[in-house]
Chain A
Amino acid sequence: DQQVKQNSPSLSVQEGRISILNCDYTNSMFDYFLWYKKYPAEGPTFLISISSIKDKNEDGRFTVFLNKSAKHLSLHIVPSQPGDSAVYFCAASEGQKLVFGQGTRLTINP
């Protein structure tokens, strides 16, 4: 049972435009949500997080939105840059463990 789902395996965006990555979850007990970014041959690196009591968190070019009623979160990157090309994982915390989605490969085209 996939509790955290990223339904888009890949996304291609032009440099300078907005990238929107989506994530859905099923467990209403998740209390914290995070986005990780992964380059090839490297481990995932933390990008941004949001508590379940908030609906938006912003950090520079990155903004995460949480819609609890829809059990949906999204990551907005604006403007998108070539260095943003990577695999993005959303994750939800359940106690001391993170439950990850399958990932979305983002490609930024010049």
Chain B
Amino acid sequence: DTGVSQNPRHKITKRGQNVTFRCDPISEHNRLYWYRQTLGQGPEFLTYFQNEAQLEKSRLLSDRFSAERPKGSFSTLEIQRTEQGDSAMYLCASSLTTGGFVGELFFGEGSRLTVL
């Protein structure tokens, strides 16, 4: 399978715990995006990387959230001290783009977080 891969697919945690999600993009894609989707809503932009550089972060990404993309390959999204409001589907997407246009994003299946 050469698509975008996300792990784990589902994480249940207690409030206050830390969680980490991993995204493996399509191998030749230089841009990687994280989105969050809650029930009944469309995906909301969180952050994106071009290679290893994190170029934009949404105001939704509080200090408890940190994303990395070491070596410009896979990415991790860590949420510290989880809150019930963090319960959502976390979607990763990648694209191969050289210009300013965002281009077609290829999404993974998502990692669902449930905070009890």
Contact = CB atoms under 8 A, between A and B. Distances in A.
B42 A101 contact: yes
Nearest to A93: B102
A42 B112 CA distance: 12
B89 to A, nearest CB: 9
Interface of B: 4, 31, 33, 40-45, 48, 55-56, 58, 91, 93, 100-102, 104-110
Interface residues of A, number: 26
Contacts, number: 60
Contact of B108 (A4, A43, A95): A43
B42 A43 contact: no
Nearest to A44: B107
B42 A46 contact: no
A93 B101 contact: yes
25 contacts: A9-B40, A32-B102, A41-B109, A42-B109, A43-B107, A43-B108, A43-B109, A43-B110, A46-B104, A49-B104, A89-B42, A89-B43, A91-B42, A95-B100, A95-B102, A96-B31, A96-B48, A97-B45, A98-B43, A98-B105, A100-B42, A100-B43, A100-B44, A102-B41, A103-B40
